[in-house]
Amino acid sequence: MALLTAACAAAAKIENLSCETHLGRFVRSLLLEMSQHPEPEHDPAYDASFDEHPGWSSPLPRIEAAEGLMALARQRPCCDAEVLDAIERLGSDPAPQVRFQVAIRLAYLYQTAPDRLWKYLEERIEAETSNAVLNGLAQCLQQLAGPHSDRAVELSARLFQKIGNGPGAEHPKATCIHIFVGLYIWRDHHASKELLDNLVRDVRANQRELSVALSNLRATLTHGTTEPPTTEDSGIRGRSVELFHTISGVVCEEFDNLIARSDSPEWSESDAETLKGIARLVDHADSELFFASGVFRNGGQQPTVSRPQWERFYRELSSTIDRLSAVGIPSGVHHLIEMLEAFIPIDPRQVFLQVSTLVKSGRSGRYQYESMAAEHIVRIVERYLAEYRPLLQEDAECRIALRKTLDAFVEAGWPAAQQLSYRLDEIFR
């Protein structure tokens, strides 16, 4: 019967299938019958692994019936009270694998049974215990967020609050964060902004969530391809920049606070683990900024952003770069220096001083001992000697920064840096 049920579930996906035809009546009848089949049996021992990696043996009658009935419910002639009642029963099935089939296809009811759709969401968000199924519900809310932003955010916030820290919890949380960030950035949705602000207020407790938020901002930090950009595009990009800067700022502040306390007698192993997590978050912000800039190229790939977008990106995020530059995590330092190298023509002086600051902060993490770091800094200094010598001749602050930057790599023993230091008299030739 399992194979026959799977075949009927496949037939239920036929576009414009009518339950008034012989085939439609047979498919509907068998799926309704199999919706009460005893297989699969619920085994709580496997619930945690299912939440982490949703999967199941196939075919199993009740699972196939749930999938098929959801497909049928998209067709108005098939979406009657008996089908909807069966779907609701399957949606509260003891086996999370069965409930999952309903949750991930719940948006199928949007056109045929919208009242039942919202009623089901309200009830299941309160009752659901499986993180995998909660993620299915969150994905449905994500699809509804465009036309029903207020209601979708209200339910997403309730869903987000009830998620614990069990296996797979990061998945529904990430989906909710995607909803909040998307609606705030693209719609300037007030309630979504408040929810994000609440996450920012407690960096330690929301490290994973803030990491997801940063990733969701990557594409919109350079938003707007027209010149000049439209008011709407500028608003979208402006909100992205503001949120990225806010998150980066509070994360860097938390890192500084933890470093300041690290030598105190009260410092504990728990504090050390928290510091590692915050450091990873800072590094993630550095990485997201690097990839958002469009500097990265895969092989001979062309830049992903235009020169005007680059200039806006650098101008609007320069203060964020300055804040991140004060935290000397080697991998993050390298990403920012690699990014800044592309911005040299935009503002040679400011970029040079920012690179120097990054090298200074990176010394605490022994960045100067990395071979790629030495190659990069030597290349940048040689470029300044060749293209921007008057800047080094006339600007005392830049000359001091140059000497300190090279000294870090000379002290680390890199021959190329030592040789370059001997050529500094070229500045005044």
pLDDT tens track for 174-228: 999 999 999 999 999 999 999 999 999 999 999 999 999 999 999 999 999 888 8
- The average confidence (pLDDT) of the chain is 93
The pLDDT value given to residue 301? 52
Residue 305 reports pLDDT greater than 50 = yes
Give, as one character, the DSSP assignment of residue 31. H
Q: What percent of the chain has pLDDT over 70?
A: 97
Co-location of 101 and 215 in the same domain = no
Helices (H), 296-388: 307-325, 330-342, 348-362, 371-387
Amino acid at site 246: T
Predicted confidence band at 300 (pLDDT cuts at 50, 70, 90)?
Answer: very low
- Whether 229 and 305 have beta carbons less than 8 Å apart is answered as no
Co-location of 15 and 121 in the same domain = yes
CA angle 127, 133, 136 (to 5 degrees): 120
What does the alpha-carbon distance between residue 2 and residue 98 come to, in Å, rounded to a whole number? 14
Where among 154, 177, 200 does a domain terminate? 200
Query: Looking up tokens 């699969």, which residue turns up?
Result: 40
Residue 429 reports pLDDT greater than 80 = no
More confident residue, 339 or 165: 339
- 45 lies in a domain? no
Co-location of 209 and 248 in the same domain = yes
Co-location of 110 and 207 in the same domain = no
Residue 43 reports pLDDT greater than 60 = yes
What does the alpha-carbon distance between residue 366 and residue 362 come to, in Å, rounded to a whole number? 6
Name the 3-class secondary structure at 42: coil
The CA-to-CA distance between both ends of the chain, in Å, stands at 89
Q: What is the pLDDT of residues 117-129, one digit of tens each?
A: 999 999 999 999 9
The pLDDT value given to residue 225? 84
Q: What is the pLDDT of residues 357-414, one digit of tens each?
A: 999 999 989 999 999 999 999 999 999 999 999 999 899 999 999 999 999 999 999 9
What does the alpha-carbon distance between residue 359 and residue 330 come to, in Å, rounded to a whole number? 9
Co-location of 362 and 373 in the same domain = yes
What does the alpha-carbon distance between residue 49 and residue 414 come to, in Å, rounded to a whole number? 50
- 120 lies in a domain? yes
Co-location of 117 and 4 in the same domain = yes
Co-location of 123 and 69 in the same domain = yes
Q: Would you state the structure tokens that stand for residue 325, as one six-digit string?
A: 């530059």
- Whether 188 and 150 have beta carbons less than 8 Å apart is answered as no
What is the arithmetic mean of pLDDT over 324-328?
Answer: 93
Amino acid at site 264: S
What is the arithmetic mean of pLDDT over 53-81?
Answer: 93
Predicted confidence band at 298 (pLDDT cuts at 50, 70, 90)?
Answer: low
Nearest alpha-carbon partner for 9 in 82, 74, 77, 56: 74
Nearest alpha-carbon partner for 214 in 185, 189, 235, 188: 185
CA angle 242, 247, 249 (to 5 degrees): 90
Q: What is the pLDDT of residues 120-156, one digit of tens each?
A: 999 999 999 999 999 999 999 999 999 999 999 999 9
Where among 183, 200, 217 does a domain terminate? 200
- 188 lies in a domain? yes
Co-location of 4 and 55 in the same domain = yes
Co-location of 1 and 123 in the same domain = yes
Residue 2 reports pLDDT greater than 50 = yes
E-state strands within 78-154: none
Co-location of 315 and 362 in the same domain = no
Nearest alpha-carbon partner for 209 in 184, 174, 242, 183: 174
Residue 252 reports pLDDT greater than 70 = yes
Instruction: Tally the domains of the chain.
Output: 4
- What pTM value is reported for the model? 0.92
Angle formed by the axes of helices 61-72 and 96-103, nearest 10°: 20
Co-location of 83 and 8 in the same domain = yes
The pLDDT value given to residue 1? 78
- 299 lies in a domain? no
Q: Would you state the structure tokens that stand for residue 359, as one six-digit string?
A: 């090298």
| Helix, strand, coil in percent for the chain, rounding step 5 | 70, 0, 30
Predicted confidence band at 302 (pLDDT cuts at 50, 70, 90)?
Answer: low
Q: Would you state the structure tokens that stand for residue 289, as one six-digit string?
A: 């900024």
- 132 lies in a domain? no
Other beta carbons within 10 angstroms of residue 114's beta carbon come to 12
The pLDDT value given to residue 303? 57
Predicted confidence band at 294 (pLDDT cuts at 50, 70, 90)?
Answer: confident
- 169 lies in a domain? yes
Co-location of 78 and 195 in the same domain = no
- 67 lies in a domain? yes
- 133 lies in a domain? no
Query: What is the domain extent for residue 164?
Result: 142-200
